[in-house]
Every structure is written in structure tokens, then in C-alpha cells.
Amino acid sequence: MQRYFIEGKVPDNRMVTITGDDAKHIAKVMRLGPKDNIIAVIENRAFLSEIESADRDVEIRLQEELVQHTEMPKQVTIACGLPKGDKLDLITQKSTELGMFALIPFEAERSIVKWDAAKSEKKRLRLQKIAKEAAEQSHRMHIPEIYTIHRFPELLKAASSFDTVLVAYEEKARESKRTRFAEVLETLYDKSSILIIFGPEGGISEQEVSLLKEAGAVFVALGPRILRTETAPLYALSAISYEFE
């Protein structure tokens, strides 16, 4: 059954109006009409809902509240050094499906791509839309927040608000005696919020490594192989899901 996220609060009369692209999707793409059902998610609560009218806007009535447990038990925020091309689109979509709580794009020293101020918000809104659609498809109760692009000092400041900070570091993967990622995860059962930092294609610079170490970040290897920048977050989220779910 199709799922839609709706902003606002649950109304006392249980009547909700859906507008914009979602209304068009319901009426024109899905071709749903009166008496058809959808799932509406409001305030992180899911309701089986019946369509009452589907003209320009769609009117629905909230019915039974559905008890669903589809969120990761840990709030995992992914911080990605800006990668080339449309890789961040892929990371956003697939990481949302895998349970990511939020995404922080950051301008790393070795990032080839640069987002200028004029285009930054447009790109963020595009990623937010991708996250919303992926959250609906995967029956999430929460749409990951896509933060505005961070400079590295801003990322360090943001990192201080998390229970733990992990850094995926390729040099760790080259060590003959490395700590298994699973062993790191076993130490996080008492942590609620986790930030995992991934570099761009060129990796994290020595200066960034030094600053992250000073901030108390834990450097980890994601197995013995060197993963692409768009693969590493998906590996980490899959491992976290396996450990905690």
C-alpha cells in the first residue's frame, strides 16, 4: 500500500488535505480515488487512511493507527565528503532504505566537487526529495534530514553532539592487525547517536585525520578491502543493521 509523509499535526477531526506533488501522484499516477486506501505518516505515526475525494487536492480520513517498528534502534548520521557526479544521490537513496537518520554533506580537503552558495540549497532540496521518496518506498516512519553543506570546522563542531564518532579510514584496512568492524559495533550498545564520517574519492587528508583524532573520533576499517565512496556508507549501515536489528 502506498505511503505518504504529511507535514503538520494529527487533526482532531482526522481529516487531512494532501496537496502538491503527492496529491498528483495519488490521483494521476496511482489513479486512486474515493474509498481507496493509503498509509499516511504524520508526526512519526502511521495511519491506514481512506480517500474521500481526489480532485486537484486529495482529502483523506485517518482511520486505524498502525503499530510499526521500521526505524533503526540507533540514530546513525552519515557525513560524506562531497563526491563526484550523482554519487550523493545514490548514497542518499540507499542509505535511507538502510535506516540512515540524517545526512551531512561536507566539503573535504580532497573533494574535487565544490558546491557554490547559489546551487547548494537547490542540491540539498533535491537530496531531501530523494530521501522522502526512499523513506516512503521502504516504509520508514522518519524522513532523514539532509543538512546544508558543512565546512570541515562545522563538521567538527557538529560531531561534538553525538554519543560516538566513527571515521571510515582506508589506512586501517591496510593494517595486518586491524580491529574488526563488528568488534567496534559491540562497544556501542549504550550509545544512541552515531556519526560516521566518510571521505570523498581521494580519502581524508592527514590534516583532517589529525583534527578528528584530537576530537576523539574512532578510526575504523570496513573489512580488508578498499571500498568506493558510495559503497562504504552502505556497508556500514548494513553491518549496523545486522548488529542491532
Q: Which three cell numbers stand for residue 79?
A: 557525513
- Domain harbouring 133, CATH code: 3.40.1280.10
State the chain's mean pLDDT as an integer: 93
Are 181 and 202 within one domain?
yes
Of 38, 66, 94, the last residue of a domain is 66
Distances from the Cα of 51 to the Cα of 26, 58, 138, 174, 223, angstroms: 10, 7, 22, 56, 49
Average pLDDT of the residues in 191-203: 95
Are 117 and 22 within one domain?
no
Are 138 and 223 within one domain?
yes
With H, G, I as helix, E, B as strand and everything else as coil, classify residue 131. helix
- Domain harbouring 44, CATH code: 2.40.240.20
Q: Which three cell numbers stand for residue 127?
A: 537530496
Are 21 and 87 within one domain?
no
Are 115 and 224 within one domain?
yes
Counting the structural domains of the chain, the total is 2
Query: By residue range, what is the domain housing residue 209?
Result: 75-244
Separation between Cα atoms, residue 113 and residue 85, nearest integer Å: 8
Are 59 and 83 within one domain?
no
Residue 171 has pLDDT above 80, yes or no: no
| Predicted pLDDT at 115 | 82
Are 96 and 10 within one domain?
no
Q: What is the pLDDT of residues 20-66, one digit of tens each?
A: 999 999 999 999 999 999 999 999 999 999 999 998 899 999 999 99
**HSE (CB half, 13 Å, CA atoms) of 126?**
10
| Predicted pLDDT at 174 | 65
Average pLDDT of the residues in 6-18: 92
Are 52 and 141 within one domain?
no
Are 43 and 98 within one domain?
no
* DSSP code of residue 70: -
Average pLDDT of the residues in 76-87: 95
Are 158 and 100 within one domain?
yes
Of 47, 66, 85, the last residue of a domain is 66
- In this prediction, residue 173 has a pLDDT band, given cuts at 50, 70 and 90, of low
What is the percent of the chain with per-residue pLDDT over 70, rounded to a whole number? 98
| Predicted pLDDT at 178 | 72
Residue 170 has pLDDT above 90, yes or no: no
Complete DSSP assignment for 104-124: EEEE-TT-S----HHHHHHHH
Of 66, 89, 109, the last residue of a domain is 66
Q: What is the pLDDT of residues 127-149, one digit of tens each?
A: 999 999 999 999 999 999 999 99
Residue 176 has pLDDT above 80, yes or no: no
- What's the angle, vertex CA 128, arms to CA 123 and CA 133, rounded to 5? 130
Residue type at 179 in one-letter notation: T
Say if CB 178 and CB 169 are below 8 A apart.
no
Residue type at 194 in one-letter notation: I
Q: What is the pLDDT of residues 218-230, one digit of tens each?
A: 999 998 888 999 9
- In this prediction, residue 175 has a pLDDT band, given cuts at 50, 70 and 90, of low
Whole-prediction pTM: 0.90
| Predicted pLDDT at 172 | 65
| Predicted pLDDT at 234 | 97
Average pLDDT of the residues in 65-75: 93
Separation between Cα atoms, residue 204 and residue 93, nearest integer Å: 23
Are 145 and 172 within one domain?
yes
Are 97 and 207 within one domain?
yes
| Predicted pLDDT at 113 | 83
